[in-house]
Amino acid sequence: MTMSDSLPQRGGSAMPFSPGKPFSLISLFSGVGGMDRGFEKAGFNILWANDRDQTVIPSYTSFFPYTVFDSRSLRDISGTELPKAAGVIGGPPCQSWSAGGARRGIHDPQGQLFEDYLRVLHHVQPLFFVAENVPGLIQGNNRAFFHQMLQRMEQEGYLVTWKVVNAHDYGVPQDRRRVFIVGYHHSLNKGFVFPPPLSCRPTLRNAIFDLRRLKIGASRKVANHDLFVSGYSPRFMSRNRVRPWHKPSFTILASARFIPLHPQSPVMVSGKEGKTKQFAPGHEHLYRRLTVRECARIQTFPDDCHFIYTHVRHGYRMVGNAVPVELAFHLARAIRTDLEQYQHTEQKEAVCQTQHPFTTEARPDVLPERFENSGIISTNTSSQTTQREDA
C-alpha cells in the first residue's frame, strides 16, 4: 500500500512506548532540522526523517548522524517502510499558503502535501503529532480547507489543538507568527495546552551584538558568516526593513533578497511622496543584509550547527525555512511532560497486569530496532566541510 492510497475514515489504536526508552519521532519535511533540534533538546530521539530537498542533506545528516534520512518524495514511500514512533513532527512547505507566495493553497501540488501528512498519521498512529505552517493557512479561501483538515485529523483518532504562535513569546529574538497544530491520540485522554509565554523576551542585541565587528566571510570563530550582496527591489523598499538593537528581528524569511537589514543602520525613512522607504541620508554605507550566521542566531540555532551549502542563497533558504529551535524546544518540553504522565500510567497498568494477569493483554513495544534499507540515506557518514560561494 503506497502513500497515495486512500485512507479509511477512522484511525486505529496508537502504539504505546516501552517504559524507560526515549520518546521516538518521525520527522517530515525536515529541512535542516530546526524543529528536530528543539525536540532533541527536550529529550526526544529522531528515528527517521524525510525531505526531498537535496540541498539540505549534507547539513541535516551532519546535525543528526544517527537518524535515518530518506530523500525520496513522501508519496513514493509506502506505509510499511515507516517505523513506529511515539510522535510525528513537521510542517509541509508553506509557499502554497504564504502571503509572500502564490497562495494557490490546496490547488498547488505542494499544498496537497497535507494529504501525505495525514496518511503518515494513519499508518504510524503516533501518540501525538505537531504540524507547523504560515498564518495564511487559516485565512481567506484557505480557511475552509483548514477546518476540513482538522476534521480529518480528528477522524484519525486525535484531539486537535491549534494556535497562531509568535516565536518571540518562547525565547526567540524575532517576531515570527506561525500556525501550530498539535494532536494527541484519544488514548492519552487529554488535549495539548500551549505553554504560557516566557517573561524573557530576547532582542537583536542578545542574539548578534557580539558579531558586529567580525569580518564578513570565512571565520575560524564563527561558521557561515556569509553575506548575500545584491540590489534592493521596489518591493523590498516598500517598507522599513531595519529593527534597532533593543527590539526583536523581523521574520527571517527563506529568500536571500528579503532578509532583514542589520541593526547597525538607522531605521529607514520615508521616500518621495511617502510611498516608499529609503536609506537615511548620510548613512547609506551602514545598510546591509544580515548574514547567514546572524539569521541562524536569530533562529536560535547554536553556533556548532555548521550549514553546508554551495551557494549562499541556499544557506539563507535552509535557515529561513526552519522552525526556531527554542520555540520547538518549549513546545516539545510541554509535550514530553504529558507523555511522561501517560507513561507513568502505563507502568502502573503493567504492575496491575502482573498482579492480575487475566485483566488485559500485554501491550507491544513502539520502539523498534534500527533498520536497514538500500533506498534510504544513512546519516552515519563522515563529517563534511562547509563550502561557500559569494553571490
Domain for residue 330, yes or no?
yes
Domain for residue 310, yes or no?
no
Identify the pLDDT of residue 370: 34
Domain for residue 173, yes or no?
yes
Alpha carbon distances (Å) from 129 to 141, 181, 185, 331, 335: 25, 8, 9, 12, 10
Domain containing 58 equals: 23-200+323-378
Q: Is 94 a catalytic residue?
A: yes
Identify the pLDDT of residue 285: 96
Q: How many domains does the chain have?
A: 1
Identify the pLDDT of residue 220: 80
pTM flag (> 0.85)? no
Identify the pLDDT of residue 145: 87
Can you read off the three cell numbers belonging to residue 99?
Answer: 502571503
Domain for residue 344, yes or no?
yes
Domain for residue 126, yes or no?
yes
Domain for residue 216, yes or no?
no
Domain for residue 276, yes or no?
no
Domain for residue 390, yes or no?
no
Tens-binned pLDDT, residue by residue, of the chain (391 aa): 344 333 333 455 665 554 445 699 999 999 999 999 999 999 999 999 999 999 999 999 999 999 999 999 999 999 999 999 999 999 887 555 445 544 454 555 555 788 899 999 999 999 999 999 999 889 888 898 899 999 999 999 999 999 999 999 999 999 999 999 999 999 999 999 999 999 999 999 999 999 999 999 877 889 999 999 999 999 999 999 999 999 999 999 999 999 999 999 999 999 877 789 999 999 999 999 999 999 999 999 999 999 999 999 999 999 999 999 999 999 999 999 999 998 877 666 666 665 555 443 433 444 333 333 333 444 444 334 344 444 3
CATH number (domain holding residue 67): 3.40.50.150
Name the active-site residue from 94, 200, 305, 352. Answer: 94
Can you read off the three cell numbers belonging to residue 170?
Answer: 518562547
